[in-house]
Amino acid sequence: MTKTYIEIFNTILSLIAHVLSIWGAYLCSPESLLFQFSLVCDDQWKQTLSSQVYFLGGLCGCIVCGQLSDRFGRKPVLFGALLLQSVFSSVTVFAPSWPVFTFFFFVVGLGQTTAYLTAFVLGKKFKWLD
């Protein structure tokens, strides 16, 4: 028996609602980062600051990646940035406090932007991509 598009759409919406209810329950649980680092109520500004520090790391990655790529080559900088991003993304999970988490998040932003820009410039060297 075939389902109509409306039935399929309703099924997908109910699945999304279920996943969102589970996600909401997790965010309100004591195990989440919001409660672990007390990022609620009076310290809610720390959530925004963490995001700003991540993007500040991305800005620093934009400034640094060109000079590093010109000096050491694109491939070593690309693989170094990927390694940096991978290591610090993994280490961020085990951050014991909010300032340490924020520092790790800064380095993740730095590595992500450096890897992206270096790979983009490296890819533009190939004529068959145009």
Could you tell me the two tokens for 123?
A: 């890819």
Task: Give the pLDDT confidence of 34-55 residue by residue, as tens digits.
Answer: 566 666 666 677 778 888 999 9
Domain that residue 7 falls in: 1-31
Domain count, the chain: 2
pLDDT band for position 24 (cuts 50, 70, 90): low
Burial 68-102 (b: 16+ CB within 10 A, else e): bbeeeebeebbebbbebbeebeeebeebeebeebb
Nearest alpha carbon to residue 102 among 68, 66, 58, 51: 51
User: Which of 34-43, 46-55, 72-81, 116-125 ranks highest by mean pLDDT?
Assistant: 72-81
Task: Give the pLDDT confidence of 93-109 residue by residue, as tens digits.
Answer: 888 888 898 999 999 99
pTM: 0.68
Mean residue pLDDT of the chain comes to 81
Does 42 lie in the same domain as 12?
A: no
Does 51 lie in the same domain as 11?
A: no
Pair 49, 99: CB distance under 8 Å: no
